[in-house]
Amino acid sequence: LAGGHNDKALEMARRAVQQFPDSEKCVATFENIQRMRLQREIVELNQAIRRSPTRDHYEKLATIYLQDLGNRNKSYELALEGLNKFPQSEGLHLICGQVRMDRFHSEYLANDFTEAVRHFERAAEISPNASKPLVALARMHAEVGVLDRAKEFLGRASQAGGLDSQGDRLLRLVDPKA
Whole-number pLDDT of residue 36? 85
φ/ψ (deg, to 5) at 91: -60, -45
Instruction: Give the helix/strand (H/E) hosting 48.
Output: helix 24-51
Cβ contacts of 100 within 8 Å, gap of 6 or more: 76, 112, 113, 115, 116, 119
Whole-number pLDDT of residue 14? 87
Which residue type is seen at 47? Q
φ/ψ (deg, to 5) at 76: -65, -45
Whole-number pLDDT of residue 41? 94
CA torsion, points 84, 88, 89, 95, in degrees to nearest 10? 70
Instruction: Give the helix/strand (H/E) hosting 106.
Output: helix 90-107
Distance of CA 13 to the CA centre of its chain: 21
Mean pLDDT of residues grouped by 10 in the chain (178 residues)? 82 90 87 86 96 97 92 95 97 98 91 96 94 94 93 90 84 83
Whole-number pLDDT of residue 161? 74
9/85 Cα distance (integer angstroms):
38
